[in-house]
């Protein structure tokens, strides 16, 4: 590779590189805004990670959690089903 080719290569690299960096971070700006909006909508509702300080003892789940075990199997069963039935 001659030095001139290298220069051209590196100019291309610069164009593509800055393009991706800007593209990536611009996209991230949008996604982060969406995320914050979604989080703001979710937060008033009680579910998901409570803003309560982390409990020190492993939680002894109340009766509301009884579905946990089924959830786990259901979720993975669905995933397996989808995966196996893919075209």
Q: Would you tell me which residues interact with other proteins (CB under 8 A)?
A: 1, 3, 6-7, 9-14, 16-18, 20-29, 31-33, 35-36, 39-40, 42-43, 47-49, 51, 53-55, 57-61, 65-66, 68-69, 72-73, 75-77, 79-80, 82-84, 86
Give the C-alpha separation, 10 to 17, whole Å: 10
Closest contact distance (angstroms) between CB of 15 and other proteins is 8
Least distance (Å) between residue 78 CB and other proteins: 9
Nearest alpha-carbon partner for 27 in 35, 38, 37: 35
HSE-CB for 27 with a 13 A CA cutoff: 6
Task: Please state the closest distance from residue 63 (CB atom) to other proteins, in A.
Answer: 9
Phi-psi group of 59: left, alpha or beta (phi > 0 → left; psi -120 to 50 → alpha; rest → beta): beta
């Amino acid at each position: 590779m001659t030095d001139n080719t290298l220069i051209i290569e590196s100019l291309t690299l610069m164009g593509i590189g800055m393009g991706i960096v800007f593209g990536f971070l611009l996209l991230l700006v949008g996604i982060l805004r969406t995320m914050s909006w979604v989080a703001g909508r979710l937060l008033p509702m009680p579910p998901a990670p409570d803003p309560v300080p982390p409990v020190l003892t492993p939680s002894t789940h109340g009766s509301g959690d009884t579905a946990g075990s089924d959830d786990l199997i259901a979720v993975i069963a669905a995933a397996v089903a989808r995966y196996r039935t893919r075209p």
